[in-house]
Amino acid sequence: MFENLRDRLDRFLAERTPPPDAREQQQALHAALVEAKVGLSTMRDALASAERALAQERQLLSDAERRGRMATEIGDQETAEVADRFTARHAERVQLLERKVAVQRDELALAEREYESMRAEFQRRKGAAPSVPSIGPDVDDAGLQHQMDRAAMESAADAQLAHLKRKVRGEG
């Protein structure tokens, strides 16, 4: 019963919602590409950090194994047992970090494929979108709008200053 109502509501909304124009779709896809690129950078940083942690943990494992061998060679049983505990702890951590790095590499590869797919779609749409010659500056651009507002304010200030100068000189 609710599914039928939901279907009718979806159809109703779809019929009354205007389709987004090509420019809006292109802008949305561009924003998604930028966000994905930032995400890829973050993922690469996380992978590099995990790889550094793995290298450091492997070094600690190697050191613990070496200390254990040295303690056994000189007959220091207590130090050898402590080294064995550290060796086990570091070996477990190395295994965990190896799995983490492998998963992060797989995740990064998947994200890169998705990004490339989105980029190809963006390029395809960019080439297929009809180019509309612009008549004037794009006032939707916030930076350009700010520059235009500033120029208008400066022009008004210059006009007001000129009026005050004429008034002081007795011309107006």
Neighbours of 83 (CB within 10 A): 21
Q: What's the average model confidence in pLDDT over 45-62?
A: 97
Q: What's the pLDDT at 139?
A: 42
In this predicted structure, the answer to whether residue 70 has a pLDDT above a threshold of 80 is: yes
**CA angle, residues 15, 18, 19, in degrees to nearest 5:** 105
Contacts of 61 (CB under 8 A, 6+ apart): 87, 90, 91, 93, 94
d(CA 118, CA 33): 7
Q: What's the pLDDT at 105?
A: 97
In this predicted structure, the answer to whether residue 69 has a pLDDT above a threshold of 80 is: yes
pLDDT tens digit sequence for 83-106: 999 999 999 999 999 999 999 999
Categorize the per-residue pLDDT at 18 as very low, low, confident or very high, splitting at 50, 70 and 90: low
d(CA 171, CA 152): 25
